[in-house]
Amino acid sequence: MCGIAGIILQAANPGAPAHLKKMTGAIAHRGPDDEGSWSNYKNTVHLGHRRLSVIDLSKNAAQPMAYANRYRIVYNGEIYNYIEIRSFLQNKGYGFTSKSDTEVILAAYDYWKDKCLQQLDGMFAFAIWDEKEERLFAARDRFGEKPFYYYEDEANFIFASEMKALWAIGIEKHIDNKMLLNYITLGHVQNSIDKEQTFFEDIYVLPPSHYLVVEPASGHLSKIVKYWSINKEIKIDISVNDAIEKFTDLFTRSVNLRLRSDIPLGTSLSGGLDSSSIAYTISQLHKNSRLKEKDNQLRTFSAVFPGFENDESGYIRIVTEHLNLANHQIHLTAKDLVNDFEKLCYHQEEPFQSSGIFAQYKIFELAKQHGVKVLLDGQGADELLAGYPKYIHWYLQEVLSRHKLGATQKKGLLSVKTTSHFTGT
């Protein structure tokens, strides 16, 4: 991950560069490899970046990055299909001075403008300043993997990857009592109706699948637009075998794209269906490549809980032995959670629902200790790979909402049989 920050002003403020420095300092942990800043000639636009180098490790890929003597970008994330987009744009006459995906975003924006988002397959949060149009264009990926927080008033628009960067320059922490009440009583960590809302008043989050535009010279502050939505009503008439073949192809291509990295990578491995499927797919891709044998052994990282009923270390062992994977484990206890709880809250910034976040946090820490900066993670894939029987309830509810009672009854009976098989009842 990287850290981005920016201050957009209607009138010049000589103290803004110092404020920007405080912001990037507050999120230095997101980008330990490099840092950079830029201000326009009017001293009204200030962009900062903390870099974690993954694609093109050279200085040519440093940020804030300039392009076409017109644009500047700060960007956090990875565009998985950047090689294909770069090839297309080169055929259109665009030139590149780096091998980074950052420069590809800039060229794509110059060519497609706001519609460039339809071309990007990846996880991202970025902000592009167009000096000619005096316009800020900022966007977040379709599923909100990368964060983008902002604050605005009559004269300022300020954004960053984390809220602590906003707090670092004096934006106050005022608890949103409605959000807090919903968390305490219902366990909600997000307002499902207003996804811009955070647990702090006057600090907002750009929702997934949205972009915003800021034009300070015209007096127009943020305009937010949704650029993508999934059509949940589409149903493909396809056989089970064809569906399996199609899913396998999509899944394999998706994993393969995410292996694009100029530094070593690994994967989290819980022993569940999602992470095991990712580990298996990577292993098969490595076997089919021409990598040397010593480079073929994928490094995996796991949290285990010996003595607990739900400990999955046995499944982890089966997967790693079958696929010949290197596995690094960390044993977590309640004492570990107590000792690290304050630090965990510092990084999370907002309330969270379960201790699962702590396990993931310690896995990432373990990977860092072994020199691995990029992990493919199965988090959130359970809905796709049927990792937990409880998700069947939501699927049946969706079928019922389409007025297909007979289908619901049939699938309900099937789910009972399937659940009995998995639980051994």
pLDDT tens, position by position, 362-371:
999 999 999 9
Q: Is the pLDDT of residue 415 over 70?
A: no
**Whether the predicted pLDDT of 173 surpasses 90:** yes
Phi, psi (degrees; rounded to nearest 5) at 166: -70, -40
Centroid of chain to Cα 191: 19
Q: Is residue 96 helix, strand or coil?
A: coil
Q: Residue 310 — pLDDT band, cuts 50, 70, 90?
A: confident
Ranking 36-50, 222-236, 266-280, 290-304 by mean pLDDT, the lowest is 290-304
Mean local confidence (pLDDT), 14-42 = 96
Domain 3-171+203-226 has CATH 3.60.20.10: yes
For residue 166, CA distances in Å to 4, 45, 128, 169 come to: 11, 16, 19, 6
Where along the chain do its domains lie?
3-171+203-226, 240-385, 391-423
Quick: pLDDT tens for 353-411: 888 899 999 999 999 999 999 999 877 666 676 666 776 777 777 777 665 555 545 44
pLDDT of the residue at 292: 45
Cα separation of 106 and 89, whole Å? 11
Q: What's the pLDDT score for residue 418?
A: 44
Inform me whether the pLDDT recorded for 76 exceeds 50.
yes
What integer pLDDT is reported at residue 380 of this predicted model? 66
Is residue 204 predicted with pLDDT exceeding 90? yes
C-alpha distances (whole Å) from 90 to each of 56, 59, 299 are: 18, 22, 36
pLDDT for residue 317? 94
pLDDT confidence of residue 420:
41
What integer pLDDT is reported at residue 237 of this predicted model?
Answer: 87
Q: What is the pLDDT of residues 314-329, one digit of tens each?
A: 999 999 999 999 999 9
| Cβ proximity of 123 and 141 under 8 Å | yes
Q: Are 207 and 222 in contact (CB under 8 A)?
A: no
* Arithmetic mean of pLDDT, 199-211: 96
Decide which of 309 and 159 is more confident: 159
Contacts of 338 (CB under 8 A, 6+ apart): none
Of 211-225, 259-273, 324-338, which range is least confident? 211-225
Q: Give the per-residue pLDDT at 417.
A: 46
Looking at per-residue pLDDT, the higher value among 222 and 145 belongs to 145
pLDDT of residue 383: 64
pLDDT of 144 higher than 80:
yes
Q: What is the mean pLDDT of the chain?
A: 89
Helix (H) or strand (E) segment spanning residue 293? helix 293-296
Confidence of residue 347 (pLDDT cuts 50, 70, 90): very high
CATH topology of domain 240-385: Rossmann fold (3.40.50)
What is the pTM assigned to this prediction? 0.89
Give buried/exposed letters for 71-92 (b at 16+ CB in 10 A, else e): bbbbbbbbbbbbeebbebbeee
Q: Looking at the predicted structure, is the pLDDT value of residue 424 above 60?
A: no
- Residues 90-100, mean pLDDT to the nearest whole number: 96
pLDDT at 229: 92
Question: Best-predicted range by mean pLDDT among 55-69, 216-230, 278-292, 350-364?
Answer: 55-69
Task: Please give the Cα distance from 392 to 382 (Å, whole number).
Answer: 11
pLDDT for position 411: 47
* Whole-number Å distance between alpha carbons of 79 and 307: 41
